Structure 1
Amino acid sequence: MVMMTISEVSRTFNVTTRMLRYYEQIGLLSSLRKEDYAYRVYDEIAVRRLQQIIILRKLRIPLKQIAVILEDARQASIIRIFEENIKELDNEIVALSTIRDILRMCILRLNNKVQKSVKLDLLQDEDILKIADALNLSRINFKEEYSMEEMKKVNDALGKLKNVRLVLLPPCTVASYHYIGENPEETVGAQMDKFIRESKLYELKPDARMFGFNHPNPTSEKPHYGYETWVTIPVDMEVPVPLKKKHFEGGLYAAHTIKFGDFHEWQYLYNWAENNEKYAPNFSELGEEIMSGCLEEHLNWVYASHTGWPNDGIDGMLDLLLPVKVK
């Protein structure tokens, strides 16, 4: 049976090693450990399972539902999940087609009024108001067959972010921990969790925030990579070894919120920054050594650690933060 290392799987299927470990963490994928071999390897069954996961994720099926599909082979269960997702997509299509119809009607109104030099008043246009109010219009009829060019356009459209925020992070003092090796995110997370609980940081600083970044980024040559975590602390607070006290200069960032696990959306944020008319990326000179200065803010992480990670706690959400500057 052919075995693939975690780096080979990552490279072959264009998924990060972090994503592969996350799939294992939530029980969606499994790996093996060869005797006298430190790294994860995947057999043919695991690789085929990963390929199915990738296809279902591209179809926007949530991870929890993917787990059900892969574990429950009954067709009735799979059909029910697909029907639920189709219903959600139908609602989204209807909403988008409504917006399109309103914009087309605005164009017609403006074309009719150009000669009269009359401004468009949406609040006094009864036809537009009626359409804007109607959220259940007739559905769009799509063609049954798609060319590769058409599918590429769909993929490009789905990858465009429309909810990017601009945030200004203030200068702050942080407690830092950096680790290179197997499972770096889990290792630094456990160390920071210990620090937060033992220092009672939340009581000292209820607005404390947690940031992280690859240090260095993973490469195809090195199965292991590094991760560094920062937690904001009071200026006069001392931190225990092996943590280090650092100063963060802050700056302007483009922010996009994701559910934990959706790290592929980093590429969407990069594309937004590269093609924005007003802002441009402001990457660090250290480049991939520190993820180009990008940060991942683990939202509500400090509070969740303080409360002992309750089973019914806050769902994992992250802000992807990409440094930008005004053009």
Structure 2
Amino acid sequence: MTMMTISEVSRTFNVSTRTLRYYEQIGLLSSLRKEDYAYRMYDENVVRRLQQIIVLRKLRISLKEIAVILENIEYNSILSIFLENIQELDSEIVALSTIRDILKIFVSRLDKDLQENVKLDLLHDDDIIKVVDALSLSRTNFKEECSVEKLSKANETLRKLENVRIVLLPSCTVASYHYIGENPEDTVGAQINKFIQECKLYELKPDARMFGFNHPNPSKDNPYGYESWVTIPEDLEVPKPLTKKYFEGGLYGAHSIKFGDFHEWQLLCKWAENNEKYIPNYSELGEEIMGGCLEEHLNWVYSSHMGWPEDGIDGMLDLLVPIKLK
């Protein structure tokens, strides 16, 4: 039976190694270990299962629902999940149709007002305003496609980030821990968690923040590592094996995700590369430190302080890509 390494699976299916490990953590995938080989290996059955997960994710099926679909032999349960998702899409389609019709009215009115040299008044029609008020601000993800190739193209069209924030990270002093090897995020997270709890960091610095990044990025020839920083008071002593560093800060494009949605890194980087006002400001070290990109684990310090270290509160992260003005 053909076996693939985690790096080979990551490159073949364009899924980050961290996402693969997360899928294993929540029970969606399983991996094997060869004798005298430290890294995860995947057989044909697991790879096929991953392909099914990828298809279902592109259909906007949640990970919780995917777990039910893949493990449930009761077709009625699977059918129920698909029907519920169709119902949600139907509601979004109605909303989209309403928005389209209202925009057509505005276009017609604008054309008429321009001819008569009258300033456009979007609040002119009370009935239209009532309909608009009832609409949701959420972005609708829908496009009617059928083949796998068309599905991928539809996702490419739909998956454009519209909620990127521009943030300025201030310069700060950080306690850092870097580890290269199997499960580096878990190893690093455990050390940072221990440090936060032992020095009671939250009491010393309630606004402390926790950042992380691949160091280096996983590849076929190189081991995989991860480094985490937690902001600290400038005069705080840092015990070994942690080290004390200074972070210069800078301008970043920020996008929030739930833990496991690391594929959205690609969308954020694409946003930066195609932005009209900003361009990426990647580090010269490149993939050695993930191009200077950061993952901020939101509320992680408080979560650690309270004894809830796993993934932080609700597993929320900010993806941060370094940018600068054009």
Does residue 296 of structure 2 align to residue 324 of structure 1?
Answer: no
Q: Distance in 2 between matches of 1:4 and 1:13?
A: 12
Q: What letter corresponds to residue 28 of structure 1 in structure 2?
A: L
Counterpart of 2:139 in structure 1 is none
Q: The residue matched to 2:189 in structure 1 has which SS?
A: helix
Counterpart of 1:48 in structure 2 is 48
Deviation at 1:98, TM superposition (A): 2.6
Deviation at 1:11, TM superposition (A): 2.3
RMSD: 2.3
Distance 1:147 1:72, change over 3 A: closer
Q: Distance in 2 between matches of 1:189 and 1:143?
A: 39
Distance 1:156 1:207, change over 3 A: same
Q: Distance in 2 between matches of 1:47 and 1:144?
A: 27
Is the CA contact (8 Å cut-off) linking 2:213 and 2:294 kept in structure 1?
A: yes
Is the CA contact (8 Å cut-off) linking 2:292 and 2:321 kept in structure 1?
A: yes
Single out whichever of 176-185 and 312-321 deviates more from structure 2: 312-321
Q: What letter corresponds to residue 181 of structure 1 in structure 2?
A: G
Distance 1:243 1:310, change over 3 A: closer
Q: What are the equivalent positions in structure 2 for 1:104-253 lying under 5 Å apart?
A: 104-133=104-133, 135=135, 151=151, 153-222=153-222, 224-253=223-252
Q: Distance in 2 between matches of 1:188 and 1:289?
A: 17
Q: Distance in 2 between matches of 1:228 and 1:244?
A: 11
Is the CA contact (8 Å cut-off) linking 1:181 and 1:226 kept in structure 2?
A: yes
Spell out, residue by residue over 1:89-117, the C-alpha distance to the aligned partner (whole angstroms, 9 max, x if none): 22333333332222221111110111221
Q: Distance in 2 between matches of 1:57 and 1:24?
A: 16
Counterpart of 1:301 in structure 2 is 300
Spell out, residue by residue over 1:12-55, the C-alpha distance to the aligned partner (whole angstroms, 9 max, x if none): 22212211111111111111112222222122221221111111
Counterpart of 1:82 in structure 2 is 82
Counterpart of 1:14 in structure 2 is 14
Single out whichever of 268-277 and 310-319 deviates more from structure 2: 310-319
Distance 1:149 1:125, change over 3 A: farther
Structure 1: state its 5+ residue gaps: 137-141
Is the CA contact (8 Å cut-off) linking 1:11 and 1:220 kept in structure 2?
A: no
Q: The residue matched to 2:245 in structure 1 has which SS?
A: strand
Deviation at 1:79, TM superposition (A): 1.0
Counterpart of 1:260 in structure 2 is 259
Q: The residue matched to 1:33 in structure 2 has which SS?
A: coil
Is the CA contact (8 Å cut-off) linking 2:8 and 2:220 kept in structure 1?
A: yes
Deviation at 1:150, TM superposition (A): 5.7
Deviation at 1:75, TM superposition (A): 0.5
Is the CA contact (8 Å cut-off) linking 1:298 and 1:318 kept in structure 2?
A: yes
Deviation at 1:134, TM superposition (A): 5.2
Q: Distance in 1 between matches of 2:145 and 2:168?
A: 46
Q: Distance in 2 between matches of 1:143 and 1:236?
A: 55
Q: TM-score, normalised by structure 2?
A: 0.92
Deviation at 1:119, TM superposition (A): 1.0
Distance 1:144 1:179, change over 3 A: closer
Single out whichever of 59-68 and 8-17 deviates more from structure 2: 8-17
Q: How many residues align?
A: 321
Q: The residue matched to 1:97 in structure 2 has which SS?
A: helix
Spell out, residue by residue over 1:106-148, the C-alpha distance to the aligned partner (whole angstroms, 9 max, x if none): 1111101112211111222235324414549xxxxx9987578
Spell out, residue by residue over 1:47-91, the C-alpha distance to the aligned partner (whole angstroms, 9 max, x if none): 221111111111111111111111112111111111222222223
